[in-house]
Amino acid sequence: MSNLSPSSWRNFPIKQQPTYEDIEKLKNLTKLNISYNNITELPESIGNLTNLTDLNIGSNKLTKLPNWIGNLTAKFHEILNNP
């Protein structure tokens, strides 16, 4: 599972969201789409995904971005539509 890439959980009715530890295990993940999931806070484990090149966090319930977000080299496809 650590080689899974790309990954899209866009508008996916997740009954049990992956844990922060699960996300961190995806060391080779390059694309992550977690839009439309009502996320209120980004897990710090995303900041440890050093191979991440594309990140879509749009249309969630984020009210602020964590400080570590500036350390990512990923380009953001969407940040809009958060409160």
Q: Which domains does the chain have, with CATH numbers?
A: 7-78 (3.80.10.10)
Q: Please answer whether residues 59 and 78 qualify as being in contact, where contact means their C-beta atoms are separated by less than 8 angstroms.
A: yes
- Report the alpha-carbon distance of residue 26 to residue 30 in Å, rounded: 9
pLDDT of residue 9: 56
pLDDT of residue 1: 45
Q: What is the pLDDT along the chain (83 residues), one digit of tens a residue?
A: 444 445 555 555 555 556 667 777 888 888 888 888 888 988 888 888 888 888 988 888 999 989 888 888 887 766 767 76
Burial of 60: CB neighbours in 10 Å, binned 0-12, 13-18, 19+: buried
pLDDT of residue 31: 86
pLDDT of residue 2: 46
- Report the alpha-carbon distance of residue 39 to residue 64 in Å, rounded: 11
Residue 58, sorted as left (phi over 0), alpha (psi -120 to 50) or beta, turns out to be: beta
